[in-house]
Structure 1
Amino acid sequence: MSEIQNVTVLGTGVLGSQIVMQAAYAGKNVVAYDIKQEFLDKLPDRWEWMRGHYSRDLSDFSDEKFDAAIARITGSTDLSEAVKAADVVIEAVPENLELKKTVWAGVGAAVPEHTILLTNSSSLRPSDFADSTGHPDRFLALHFANMVWKSNTGEVMATAQTDPAVFTRTVEFAREINLQAFPIHKEIPGYLLNSLLIPWLNAAGNLYVEKAANPSVIDEDWKVSTGSPRGPFEIYDIVGFNVAYNIIQARQPEGSPLRKFGDELKSRGIDKGHTGVGDGLGFYEYDSEGSIVRPNPDWVIYED
């Protein structure tokens, strides 16, 4: 049996909740931490949403196994309590550098001496907040893709201060929770996937701001031209508006067209609780199985 049995996940949003279930379904005991009980109260609905996807996408699925995974999950709003017995802590809080520093300072003061400290940061450099943990030798990145049970990549990226043994153990841990591990040997903002994905999504955002075409038209052109199964606005819905907005805020200068696009993601989506597939409404409307019903009229520019 692995010596890593107790996992704490910080943040229970779209991806954080998926990470919780990914670890629990693999047999780990998981504490799901968030700052408010009302966020934790949403988890049962998320489990049922995931249950449908797991049943369709995983060959080893059974309701008994899924229920056993749920039973291994405990919620907490007390950070010190949430991490005090953790073998691994995985942080999935918003892409805000000062917030991450604050959270990791609290974690670092409360974790045992053996705990591996992992960030799922999408675009910030782990080394920019490694020292906040107080244990930079045990701190590195493990980056998950959305719809993690199916797109089960685990990008493992060390900083210059990470103990090589901890890096190796994290690669092993990623495999233990059913990820395909991708070791990254030099710290790169955005890892491998997002270094390729973000410029593509940014280009689509710019096309929308310039009112070049409707999102569904841009998506269809991309899919027909490249043979790709999804277009950029479909990917925005999978990534989630919250993640996309926070990346834009962190990486784009004030007054840029993409800042305008980010502001629209917030005002027309996030503020209304419409952030993509996980909520059933993003650039598209989705049915209960996550299939597209039609383009969301709120984002249609032209009557084509």
Structure 2
Amino acid sequence: MSAISGMTGFGRADGAEGDWTWSVEARSVNGRNLEVRFRGPPGFDGLERHAKSAAQVRLSRGQVTLGVQAKRDLGVASLKVNQDILAHYLTLANQLAEEGATPPSADGLLSLRGVLEAPEEVDDAEARAAVEAAMALSIDQALDALKISRDREGSQLLPVVMDFIGRIAALVVRAETEASAQTDAIRERFARRMTELAPDAPGLEDRIFLEAASLATKADVREELDRLAAHVASAHTLLQQPPAGRKLDFLMQEFMREANTLCSKSATTALTGIGLELKAVIEQLREQVQNVE
């Protein structure tokens, strides 16, 4: 059986090009459709388009958050001192020193805002394109890691889903056995009631037979059980054809619809109990299916 994928995962990749270094993180949680949110460094406008396209290739559902944290190391030697601002700070410092304040240190002055300036970060088009291409590759690597993480979740989820489907199938078999006894139970119940109310009524036996047959027809749950069995088979088929999450979501609604009808038609306490148990298991399965891509 093909492995299904989950929708919760994490992937990370680091990279460097020239004087740039960066890290990419990709996270995803459950979602009805695929939604990609991207945050990247300014000046690299093509990365968002690439990130969304790359996510669509690898994933079909889930809320995905992609972030690129980048920094540029220009080196200490490239820093310049703004002499005008430094002179202004020195004047203020000397005035304060005359009033008894501690004279400023060189480290303190250099740490003041605006004293040290970095040169304009100007790249030629070729260098900027190389950095952006390298960042895009890291985005691909982070998404690949995210996909592996989601596949790992799916491999853990598959036996859980299969167990619930097996329990539903077993309950359907139990319901079929119990439903076969419904006609006799209805007839006996109706006959006892009619005998108590009108024991001497003419044609009582024929009337009991007709009314019991009518009630049994209304309480016939064979169609519901047949559809439940068909849904079980469909679930097995879908699990072999991932991504199956959206179709499984719809199938859960069909499962619950048949289980509700089964309970409403039930004429015995035993069958009602099976129907209620069936609904509980279907709801548990539905919760797990919410995690399937």
Q: What TM-score comes out, normalization by structure 2 length? A: 0.22
Higher helix share: 2
TM-score (ref. length: structure 1): 0.21
